[in-house]
Chain A
Amino acid sequence: MQTNIDLQGLRVAVTGGTAGLGLALVRQLAEQGASVAFVARTTANVERIADETGAHGIVGDIGNKEDIYPIALQVTASLGGLDVLINNASSLGPVPLALLADTECEELEKALAVNLVGAFRLTKALFGALAASARGGRGALVINISSDAAVNAYPGWGAYGASKAALAHLTAIWDEEAKADGIRLLALDPGDMDTPLHALALPDADPATLKRPEVAAAEIIEKMLDALPVSTTILAGARG
């Protein structure tokens, strides 16, 4: 894990920030000096992580349309703008995992509502703030957390895999469209991690065989810095 990065001045929002990869991202970004806002559904968890990290906690559900603009308002008001949005909040779909033929339509809809439509809605609501950051020469980046289930046809992972595949393609198209506005969008696969979501999917998996979310978070932060313009990383003091 990198410990010598200084992200002072960088403004980052993370969804799903109280568990697993999202929590590891919030902790590392805050430790490294970034201004961080995070979103999660449960008030008590949000307050606990806000107290622990000093990051700005926001209670909301990415899968709920009515929550999106209130979240966006709190993100931009608390950070004074936004340079990086990490759409990490994810819904697994049916638990336990189910074959598609056994998956309720509503379970597929729920996975799409969070993993695809929720990420789309929040990115759209924050697009103006990201564009403002890009115009100011700070760069602007959206990282959408994807999965190898977006590429490989794993039986049982239909709802999740289909939603993540759609998210990955949406990311690729939007990246082409928004390049000229100075906004980049990346879909990143963090690998199989020892997280609550993974435990829901595969309760019997041996944690020792899984990547620690802290390691995945450090890798994502590195890719984030690679994707931001040099001026931003110098501004953030991240590169000697």
Chain B
Amino acid sequence: MIAADHPDRRSARLFVVEADGAMRDLPRVVLATLFDPGDLVVANDAATLPASLRGTHVPGDEAIEVRLAGWLSLPNPTRFVAIAFGAGDHRTRTEDRLPPPPLSPGDRLRLGSLEAVIERLLDHPRLLELGFTGNRAAVLAGLARHGRPIQYAHVPEPLALWDVWTKIAAAPVAFEAPSAGFALDWRTLQAWRRRGVGFATVTHAAGVSSTGDPALDLRLPFDEPYHIPERTAAQVARAKLRGGRIIAIGTSVVRALEAAANPGGNVRAENAIATGRIARGTRLHVVDAILTGVHQPGESHFELLRAFADDALLAKASAAFTTYRYRTHEFGDSMLLNR
């Protein structure tokens, strides 16, 4: 529980990196006045599932934690791709967590009031397909009651759902919070509307940002389903036509918009799956700027930033984060990176 009395929120910082390399350290509240009439801000309105479930591997009577990490058939909440860990919890660094007990297809897991069966082992000892037994309503109730937000050792106090839902959170389809959206509030959205800055959303089922295993981490992000509404596609087209800039709130929005991009820079309204990685050398068709958390080299999110700016510029920004003591975790400060 960190949101309710979170003094950091008001004093959050925003580091602005211009395409020409100019940099500014600003209070994040200036976000409300930063963009121009005709620009379009696009955010991810996915709410976050309580995707961490602890319980027992029934055959061996051993402790297990599963983290739901991918949909097998969105929006069916009874089947998922999941990552398994052994005993322990988020207070241990993910890379130091014990492996899960030996797992076999058909093994039963008891997770609070939920019961699940390992349907299939995937090509990594921690990676599996999981099916919950019971009807949809019972599974949703069990997840809601027993699940906890996925979290990492840098925030030791247990998180509640209200900590990981952004103010615009709508459909609960993300496995980790689309955390760049923590920078948004309704006051900022109203200020943009008054100034003629557009606002639109995509719904992108953001997956896990870290698995604790270097080989598995290299495969992040996993395939992620997204939805781009008709209205959002139309708003992108209108902004582009008028020469407005498209500002993505977070890496998940970049991934969805670029996956749905037509060569001309417009996007298709669609339900689809984002595959592949955006990284250095990826040509961006839609997004002109990204608002993101403060990411460091090596993180999966950092790789995506290399499509926006060259490594020398990102290195300069990283140095400035240290100088200005920017907070790097998902509840920390923000960077606006223009290209």
Q: Does A pair with B? A: yes
Chain A's closest residue to B193 (CB) is: A180
Among B145, B172, B201, contact of A76 (Cβ-Cβ < 8 Å): B172
Q: Mark B155-173, 1 if CB is under 8 A from A, else 0.
A: 0000011100111111110
Also in contact, A73 and B172, with CB within 8 A (given A135-B200, A136-B229, A180-B190)? yes
Q: Mark B135-164, 1 if CB is under 8 A from A, else 0.
A: 011001101110000000000000011100
A58 within 8 A of B: yes
Tally of A-B Cβ pairs under 8 angstroms: 83
Scan residues 35-62 of chain A and give those whose CB is less than 8 A from a CB of chain B: 50, 56-59
B168/A50 in contact, CB under 8 A: no
A81/B171 in contact, CB under 8 A: yes
Question: Nearest 8 A-B pairs (CB), nearest first?
Answer: A70-B144, A69-B161, A132-B170, A129-B170, A128-B169, A128-B170, A128-B168, A73-B144
B165/A128 in contact, CB under 8 A: yes
A74/B140 in contact, CB under 8 A: yes
A50/B137 in contact, CB under 8 A: yes
A181 within 8 A of B: yes
Q: Which residues of A contact B161 (CB under 8 A)?
A: 69-70, 72-73
B239 within 8 A of A: no
B231 within 8 A of A: yes
Also in contact, A81 and B170, with CB within 8 A (given A73-B49, A135-B201, A137-B231)? yes
- With both chains docked as a complex, state the minimum distance between the C-beta of B137 and any C-beta of chain A, in angstroms: 6
Also in contact, A131 and B168, with CB within 8 A (given A73-B140, A77-B75, A78-B136)? yes
Chain B's closest residue to A80 (CB) is: B75
Among A70, A128, A129, A131, contact of B145 (Cβ-Cβ < 8 Å): A70
**A–B Cβ pairs within 8 angstroms, 14 of them:** A68-B162, A70-B141, A73-B143, A73-B144, A74-B140, A76-B170, A76-B172, A78-B136, A125-B162, A132-B201, A136-B231, A180-B190, A181-B189, A181-B190
B167/A128 in contact, CB under 8 A: yes
Scan residues 197-234 of chain B and give those whose CB is less than 8 A from a CB of chain A: 200-201, 203, 229, 231
Q: Which residues of B contact A56 (CB under 8 A)?
A: 137
- With both chains docked as a complex, state the minimum distance between the C-beta of A9 and any C-beta of chain B, in angstroms: 16
A sample of 7 more A-B contacts (CB under 8 A), given A78-B137, A135-B200, A177-B186, is: A57-B137, A73-B49, A74-B141, A80-B75, A80-B171, A128-B45, A180-B193
Q: How many residues on chain A are close to B (CB under 8 Å)?
A: 30
Q: Mark A120-150, 1 if CB is under 8 A from B, else 0.
A: 0000010111011001110000000000000
CA of A135 to CA of B186, assembled, Å: 14
Q: Which residues of A contact B75 (CB under 8 A)?
A: 77, 80
B229/A135 in contact, CB under 8 A: yes
Q: Which residues of B contact A50 (CB under 8 A)?
A: 137
CA of A80 to CA of B166, assembled, Å: 18
Chain B's closest residue to A56 (CB) is: B137
Q: Which residues of B contact A177 (CB under 8 A)?
A: 186
Q: Which residues of B contact A137 (CB under 8 A)?
A: 231
Chain A's closest residue to B141 (CB) is: A74
B165/A69 in contact, CB under 8 A: yes
CA of A168 to CA of B49, assembled, Å: 32
A132/B189 in contact, CB under 8 A: no
B50 within 8 A of A: yes
CA of A17 to CA of B201, assembled, Å: 32
- With both chains docked as a complex, state the minimum distance between the C-beta of A137 and any C-beta of chain B, in angstroms: 7
A181/B140 in contact, CB under 8 A: no
CA of A77 to CA of B139, assembled, Å: 11
Q: Which residues of B contact A58 (CB under 8 A)?
A: 141
A69/B201 in contact, CB under 8 A: no
B109 within 8 A of A: no
Q: Which residues of A contact B169 (CB under 8 A)?
A: 128-129
- With both chains docked as a complex, state the minimum distance between the C-beta of B326 and any C-beta of chain A, in angstroms: 27
Q: Which residues of B contact A127 (CB under 8 A)?
A: 167
Scan residues 1-57 of chain B and give those whose CB is less than 8 A from a CB of chain A: 45, 47, 49-50
- With both chains docked as a complex, state the minimum distance between the C-beta of B271 and any C-beta of chain A, in angstroms: 12
Q: Which residues of B contact A72 (CB under 8 A)?
A: 161
CA of A132 to CA of B144, assembled, Å: 21
CA of A124 to CA of B200, assembled, Å: 20
Q: Which residues of A contact B160 (CB under 8 A)?
A: 66, 69
